[in-house]
Amino acid sequence: MYKNEVNEERVRQLEEKCVEIRKSLLNFIYRIGMGHLGGELSIVEMAVALYYEYMKYDPKNPKWEDRDRLVLSKGHCSETLFTIFSDLGMYTMDYMVEHFETLDTALFGMHSNRKYVPAIEVSAGSLGHGLPVAVGLALGARAQKKLWRTFVIVGDGELNEGSNWEAFMAGGHYKLGNLVAIVDKNQLQMTGPTERVMSIDPLDKKLEAFNWDVLQIDGNDMYSVCKALASLPPADPWAVRKPVAIISNTAKGKGVSFMEGNVKWHGGGIAKEQLEQALADVENGRKGRI
Amino acid sequence: MATQTTYDFDQMLSNAREAYGEELMRMADAGLEFFFTYSDNVAPSSSAGKFVQKYPDRCFNFGIAEPNQVGASAGLALSGRVVFAQVFGPFLSLRAADQIHTDIAYNDVNVRLIGTHAGVTAAGGPTHNCIADLALYRAIPNLTVVVPADAGQCVKMIRQSMDFEGPMVIRIDRGGSPDVYADNSYELTFGKAIETLSGSDLSIVSAGSSVYWSMRGAKILKEKYGISARVIDMHTIKPLDTDMLLKCAAETKNIVTVEEHSINGGLGGGIAEFLLESGFTGKFKRIGLPDTFAVLGDPDEVYKYYGMDPDGIAASIDKLLIAPPIIL
């Protein structure tokens, strides 16, 4: 069941996993020629901690009824999940490349489709959709006395969309203690810093005012991520309590020197020389921690 | 053969909005499991309100926030049960369009969106008129769109939708509308239109409460103008029953559509597209709300103003049939 203790050795293993996932992700994006590397790299620690440690999840049976649900609302960052699915043994990287946006044989695309990839809970792409759907999933779990949790990852720029605030209001109203919203606060949206395009701070106070419990963490630090996920209250649908929002402070393009905090790396492909530099940066990041 | 209708009966008013709530209650009482979401327009005294009070654990109020309600309805369906979602029609179609497209249709979930206050039935002017919804729904893939002709048909649709796979929109009026069918013993199949009146000079294809007005119009056509009109209840707007349209084109030559929607993009638009591509050469006319924000007034007065009432329908059909064909 859910782990409440944070094991330092396990944190180290998960950090190693993040290095592998970042390298595979970069290679994947290089091969398919498109992606949203900035936001895909910023969520790596959170996605790895969820899929490899904290979610009830069986990669061999992605439709297991009692699994925790993860809704990736920032659907343009699906390649991070695809890379994890590949690492978990669901698809080979070659298979994903061979079926990437190939018309009638396509299973994978810039935005994920649950009909093509069963491990995807909710098809996404248009922003501001994941949180309302997650509210419905959490309500449905409670009404059916199910023990699974619903996680939803939303972007900070995405919070410009008003539907999120309707859903925050509903999550607080219904006291959905089985719902966890993770805001990937990488502080950049497509054309510039979130604070310049449409300021969202003080985000913690806003979410508290919507009746959510708020955790603020360094979302690119595996220990902080694990500590936050380990501290979640039990996913027991009978207990009515505030939903949890994790404000995950991250860097867009995390791990790659020339991408970090650089608005130019919102979307696009990556050239061969850039790939080599990026892979070297990720490897250096591993060494830096030892 | 035409299905038995109230054409020769006194007009009886039934309320689809009340009837569907009563059917939800019957289904729940019978042990069927489903969720119900609603917005801040379900009165406690209504049948849906009574259902909410009896089965609170399966009902969720989303206030005045249609995008969230529709998105959450998709999530509820993904948790494993059919969802009925009552939403005020104009705000469902216009405000939650992206959610209908992406969360409901693209995600392919078993949600039945019950859009109320069709056409001008809400009164209250253009902000509360629901005139562009069918145009939107027709352009969204994987969406089945039905418009019950009366309350009894609405009940059949609600019940049958429990066994239907995929997303569906059920478009109903605000309040009481005349009964079209004499009883509910007839068979209803989604996507299969019903001939409600036999006729040979033209076919009036309609949906929703306009079916009743079309039948009354057909009666006037017969008595006053000597024109024999067939009436078709095209209760499923998407997919259209194209076999029925071809049959009508072959047997009655001319086709007129009547709907409580903008004449652009709705039932008439869909039928025009199909007929033109099928080589149709008869006379054709769309009767409905013109391409303007409607005048303010009681719905019955608005229908008369735009020639959508029985007299107006009959007069414009007579004019259409008398006019020489346009040869291009």
Q: Domain extents for chain A?
A: 8-289
Which residue in the set A129, A138, A169 is minimally distant from B99, CB to CB?
Answer: A129
| B25/B116 same-domain check | yes
Does residue B125 contact residue B302 with C-beta atoms inside 8 Å? no
Q: What is the pLDDT of residue B7?
A: 53
**Preceding amide of A234 cis, omega within 30:** no
> Which helix (DSSP H) or strand (DSSP E) does residue A209 occupy?
helix A203-209
Distance from the B20 Cα atom to the nearest Cα atom in chain A, whole angstroms: 22
pLDDT of residue B3: 72
Whole-number Å distance between alpha carbons of A24 and A91: 13
| Ramachandran quadrant class, A93 (left: phi over 0; alpha: psi -120 to 50; beta: rest) | alpha
> Starting from the edge strand earliest in sequence, which strands make up the sheet with A69-72, in order?
A69-72, A150-155, A179-185, A244-249, A213-218
Q: What is the pLDDT of residues B77-106, one digit of tens each?
A: 999 999 999 999 999 999 999 999 999 999
Domain count, chain B: 2
DSSP E strands in chain A: the ranges are: 69-72, 150-155, 179-185, 188-189, 192-193, 213-218, 244-249
Residue A288 clears pLDDT 80, i.e. is over it:
no
Cβ contact, residue pair A140, B75, below 8 Å: yes
AA identity, residue B53: Q
Q: Is A89 left (phi over 0), alpha (psi -120 to 50) or beta?
A: left
Distances (CA, A) of A267 to A79, A282, B7: 12, 19, 62
Backbone dihedral region for residue B130 (phi beyond 0: left; psi -120 to 50: alpha; all else: beta): beta
> Residue B183: inside a domain, yes or no?
no
Closest Cα to residue A211, out of A159, A171, A239? A171
Least confident of A133-137, A211-215, B16-20, B272-276: B16-20
Beta strands, E only, A210-278? 213-218, 244-249
B57 contacts A136? CB cut-off 8 A? no
**How many C-beta atoms surround the C-beta of residue B207 within 10 A?**
29
Distance, in Å, from the CA atom of A178 to the CA atom of A139, rounded to the nearest integer, reads: 9
A285 or B313, which is more confident?
B313
State whether B143 and B48 are in the same domain.
Answer: yes
Question: Which of A286, A212, A282 lies closest to A254, judged by CA?
Answer: A282
Residue A1 has pLDDT above 50, yes or no: no
What is the per-residue pLDDT for B11?
58
Higher pLDDT, A4 or A183: A183
Q: Please indicate if any CB of chain A lies within 8 Å of the CB of B182.
A: no
Give tens-digit pLDDT for B193-243: 999 999 999 999 999 999 999 999 999 999 999 999 999 999 999 999 999
Residue B327 lies in a domain: no
pLDDT, mean of residues A247-251: 98
B98 chain-A contacts, CB cut-off 8 A: 126, 129
| Interface membership of A192 toward B (CB under 8 Å) | no
What CA–CA distance (Å, rounded) separates A22 from A260? Answer: 13
**Has residue B16 been placed in a domain?**
yes
Strand A188-189 with A179-185, pairing: unpaired
- Inter-chain CB proximity A133 and B78 less than 8 Å: yes
E-strand stretches of A62-163: 69-72, 150-155
Structure tokens at A175: 């006291």
Q: What mean pLDDT is reported for chain A?
A: 95
Amino acid A3: pLDDT: 63
| Count of alpha carbons within 13 angstroms of residue B156, beta-carbon side | 19
Indicate whether B8 pLDDT > 70.
Answer: no
The reply to whether B246 falls in a domain is yes
- Looking at B146, B178, B210, which one is the last position of a domain? B178
Q: Closest approach of chain B CAs to the CA of A12, in angstroms?
A: 35
Identify whether the C-beta of residue B164 lies closer than 8 Å to the C-beta of residue B144: yes
Assess whether B200 and B270 both reside in one domain.
Answer: yes
Q: Are A35 and A253 in contact (CB under 8 A)?
A: no
Token pair for A24: 């595979």
pLDDT at B302: 96
Inter-residue contact A11 to A222 (CB < 8 Å): yes
Which residues in chain A are closer than 8 Å to B75, comparing Cβ atoms? 122, 132-140, 150
- Is the CB of residue B293 less than 8 Å from the CB of residue B248? no
* Last-in-domain residue among B178, B207, B234: B178
Of A39, A2, A42, nearest to A18 (Cα)? A42
Between helix B66-78 and helix A162-173 the angle, nearest 10°, is 60
Q: Higher model confidence: residue B13 or residue B179?
A: B179
Residues B145 and B280 in one domain: no
* Two tokens, residue A11: 């944190």
Give tens-digit pLDDT for A15-32.
Answer: 999 999 999 999 999 999
Question: So what's the pLDDT on residue A35?
Answer: 95
Q: Express each pLDDT in B314-327 by its tens digit.
A: 999 999 999 887 76
Banded pLDDT at A236 (limits 50, 70, 90): confident
Do B216 and B151 share a structural domain? Answer: no
Please tell me the predicted confidence (pLDDT) of residue A286: 85
Contacts of A163 in chain B (CB under 8 A): 67-68, 71, 99
CATH 3.40.50.970 at A8-289, yes or no: yes
- The ipTM value here is 0.96
Shortest CB distance from A134 goes to which of B67, B75, B77? Answer: B75
Numbers of helices and strands, H then E, in chain A: 11, 7
B163 and B230 both lie in a single domain = no
Residue B184, in any domain of the structure: no
Domain identity same for B258 and B309: yes
pTM of the model: 0.96
Domain span including residue B218: 194-321
For B221-260, the DSSP string reads IIIII---EEEEE--EEES--HHHHHHHHHHH-EEEEEEE
Nearest-by-Cβ selection for A136 from B57, B67, B71: B71
- CATH classification at residue B155: 3.40.50.970
Side-chain half-sphere exposure of B195, counting CA atoms within 13 A: 17
Higher pLDDT, A9 or A239: A9
Nearest alpha-carbon partner for B114 in B138, B79, B87, B151? B87
Whole-number Cα distances in Å, B274 to A215, B166, B176, B189, B245: 57, 24, 32, 21, 9
Last residue of a domain, one of B153, B178, B203: B178
Residue pointed to by tokens 């949600």? B111
Asked if residue B4 is part of any domain, the answer here is: no
Contact check, Cβ <8 Å, B75/A166: no
Q: Is B77 in the A-facing interface, judged by CB distances under 8 Å?
A: yes
pLDDT reading at B113 higher than 70: yes
**Contact between B191 and B146 (Cβ < 8 Å):** no
Other beta carbons within 10 angstroms of residue A258's beta carbon come to 12
Question: Cα(B232)–Cα(B292) distance, rounded to whole angstroms?
Answer: 27
Give the C-alpha distances (Å, rounded to integers) separating B104 from A120, A163, B146.
Answer: 16, 15, 16
The count of C-alpha atoms lying within 13 angstroms of the C-alpha of B75, restricted to the half-sphere facing its C-beta, is 35
**Residue B215 φ/ψ region, left for φ over 0, alpha for ψ in the -120 to 50 degree band, beta for the rest:** alpha
Q: Is A176 left (phi over 0), alpha (psi -120 to 50) or beta?
A: beta
B145 and B134 in contact (C-beta within 8 Å)?
Answer: yes
Number of helices followed by number of strands (H, E) in chain B: 12, 14
Shared domain for B162 and B219, answered yes or no, is: no
**What percentage of chain B reaches a pLDDT higher than 70?**
96
Percent of chain B at pLDDT above 90?
88
Are B133 and B93 spatial neighbours (Cβ–Cβ below 8 Å)?
Answer: yes
- A76-124 pLDDT tens trace: 999 999 999 999 999 999 999 999 999 999 999 999 999 999 999 999 9
